[in-house]
Amino acid sequence: MKTGHYLSLNSSGLHRLSYHEWGTPNDRPLLCVHGLSRNGRDFDALAKQLSAEGAWVICPDIAGRGLSEWLTNPADYCLEQYLHDLLALIARLNVNHVDWLGTSMGGIIGIMLSSKVHTPIARLILNDIGPDLGNLGIKRIQQALPQNAVIFSSLDLAERYFRRNLKDFGTLTDSQWRHLTKCSIKPTPTGDYTLRSDVNIHIPSFSAEDQQRLWTAWKNVRCPCLVIRGENSDVLLNDTITKMKHAHRRLTAIEIPQIGHAPFLSSELQIDIIRQWLANDTSLQL
């Protein structure tokens, strides 16, 4: 893996963004876009496996997360800004098309971009997200967002924090939890640790008008799509998947047992689902 950087425009000037690159460049990379308060290192296990098999995998840190710069104006933490930033990344990669894997917020951005005329997205994978958002899940995520800087006096305490707050990701190994923790915190000048995400990050408002906008976007998506749902998800509901299928005939839906929002995509089973679908294996079943 290597890390790259680029600049993008915001309402106050320019900000520096980071991305993590796996594998050898080709004409259609897999772009993996993380959830609301996470970062591109969430895809390390998936990217390592797929790149070893010849894939070129790009995992950006959205502004305010990971190694990317925090934004001066909190209002810039919005879907429009993220669309601009990721289009700038695709332009930097110098490719005409990408495959897109989006977890939660990363999937919403993918839906919006896939709906556009001349979209660069050739295939879309949505990880536990759709154009309807479960109200209980959104409230839970909102309540879990820190309002002030979170400080940990040790790596072990930081890991306990993530194990508690991200338990819906599923059963991760001890080494996976430790890796997730190390990639999600940074040292402070006092020798403690704090989060690598800006406390000003917020869930974009989803009024009835916003919800209709997402459905309109979904109806304009033409590329093949895979939807992965955690069996216990409170964000992507089964009724939503049924409605999505009515609007999009090129959709495959897979449910991951005993997981909530959202599958971490680090187990062999979950990685194999993505591998097979990208290989156009239409016989894929669980």
Tokens of 272: 């194999």
Domain that holds residue 189: 2-278
Evaluate whether residue 164 is within a structural domain. yes
The structure's pTM equals: 0.95
Give counts: helices (H), strands (E), the chain.
Answer: 9, 11
Evaluate whether residue 222 is within a structural domain. yes
Residue 168 CA to residue 262 CA, distance in Å, equals 6
CA 232 from centroid of its chain's CA atoms:
19
Which tens digits make up the pLDDT trace of 178-204?
999 999 999 999 999 999 999 999 887
Across the chain, what does the average pLDDT equal? 94
Average pLDDT over residues 60-68: 98
Evaluate whether residue 188 is within a structural domain. yes
Q: What local confidence, expressed as pLDDT, does residue 285 receive?
A: 42
256 pLDDT above the threshold of 90: yes
SS3 97: coil
At residue 98, φ and ψ (nearest 5 deg) are: -135, 155
Confidence of residue 205 (pLDDT cuts 50, 70, 90): low
108 pLDDT above the threshold of 60: yes
Radius of gyration (C-alpha) of the chain in whole angstroms: 18
Evaluate whether residue 283 is within a structural domain. no
Which tens digits make up the pLDDT trace of 1-10?
999 999 999 9
The CATH number given to whatever domain includes residue 146 is: 3.40.50.1820
Evaluate whether residue 171 is within a structural domain. yes
DSSP 101: E
Say how many domains are in the chain.
Answer: 1
Task: Work out the number of other CB atoms within 10 angstroms of the CB of residue 88.
Answer: 14
Evaluate whether residue 286 is within a structural domain. no
Tokens of 51: 């790149």
SS3 143: helix
Task: Work out the number of other CB atoms within 10 angstroms of the CB of residue 103.
Answer: 27
Which tens digits make up the pLDDT trace of 239-250?
999 999 999 988
More confident residue, 237 or 141: 237
Evaluate whether residue 284 is within a structural domain. no
Evaluate whether residue 12 is within a structural domain. yes
Q: What local confidence, expressed as pLDDT, does residue 209 receive?
A: 79
